[in-house]
Amino acid sequence: MKFLAEEIEEYSVRHTDQESELLKSLNRETYARILSPRMLSGHLQGRLLSMMSRMIRPERVLEIGTYTGYSALCLCEGLTENGKLITIDVNEELETFTRSYFDQSPYKHQIDYRIGNASDIIPTLDGFFDIVFIDADKLNYANYYHLCLDKVREGGFLIADNVLWSGKVITAESGKTDKDTRSMVDFNKMIQDDPRVSNILLPVRDGLMIVQKL
């Protein structure tokens, strides 16, 4: 996932706001104790998500794929006073760890953390969302997009993580690829061809697709 020269990435981090102490601790503990720690959004991407949330000032945020809660806490930083973030994850084994960090945060009472299958839960959610963040199983990205787009308010945003998939989306053009990579290639093309949205793919970390509903 190293698309930038290491020196450039380090320089970028040095000239970016610091993480909170809680996020630093969550970052460290995830790498020390949890399987597949690179799934964590991390410092640079986390500050980007935080700034976007603070620019939008959402009342309602939906996150698909909680992992250890880092991105959820970043997105909460822009919530309105009575705002709410719903975050869904299928992995119940991480629940105790993740809840412990939510409970330490100032957003404890604004986070609705649900364990279950997102494809089952999303249709039960009422109302509109200002931001939807997708960072879950890649084979279901298109499904999540279709389930969520009607729930995004006009002018609202949908953000999808890992859309560069460690650069494999480029080599996939040769036709030799795995199912996850093909799903990301097809997802990116679907977004690009969707007249209902405006989009930009940012090569930050493993790629963020920023989509605004027209």
Task: Give one word for 158, left, alpha or beta, with left for phi > 0 and alpha for psi -120 to 50.
Answer: beta
**What is the reported pLDDT for 7?**
92
Buried b (16+ CB within 10 A) or exposed e, 185-207: bebbeebeeeeebeeebeebbbb
**DSSP character string of 150-184:** TTEEEEEEEEEE-TTGGGHHHHGGGS---HHHHHH
pTM over 0.85: yes
Domain spans, the chain: 6-213
pLDDT tens-place string over residues 127-154: 999 999 999 999 999 999 999 999 999 9
> Do residues 20 and 26 touch, judged by C-beta distance below 8 A?
no
Superfamily in which the 6-213 domain is placed by CATH: Vaccinia Virus protein VP39 (3.40.50.150)
d(CA 123, CA 106): 29
**What is the reported pLDDT for 1?**
59
Contacts of 27 (CB under 8 A, 6+ apart): 19, 40, 42, 43, 70
Candidates 169, 195, 177; CA nearest to 3 is: 169
d(CA 197, CA 85): 23
Q: 171 is written with which tokens? A: 């080599």
**What is the reported pLDDT for 36?**
85
One digit per residue, the tens of pLDDT, for the chain of length 214 reads 567 788 998 999 999 999 999 999 999 999 999 888 878 889 999 999 999 999 999 999 999 999 999 999 999 999 999 999 999 999 999 999 999 999 999 999 999 999 999 999 999 999 999 999 999 999 999 999 999 999 999 999 999 999 999 889 988 766 678 899 999 999 999 999 999 999 999 999 899 999 999 9
Helix 6-14, helix 43-56: angle, nearest 10: 50
User: Which helix (H) or strand (E) is 91 found in, with range?
Assistant: none
> Do residues 50 and 26 touch, judged by C-beta distance below 8 A?
no
**What is the reported pLDDT for 39?**
83
Q: Residue 79 carries which side chain, given as an amino acid letter?
A: L
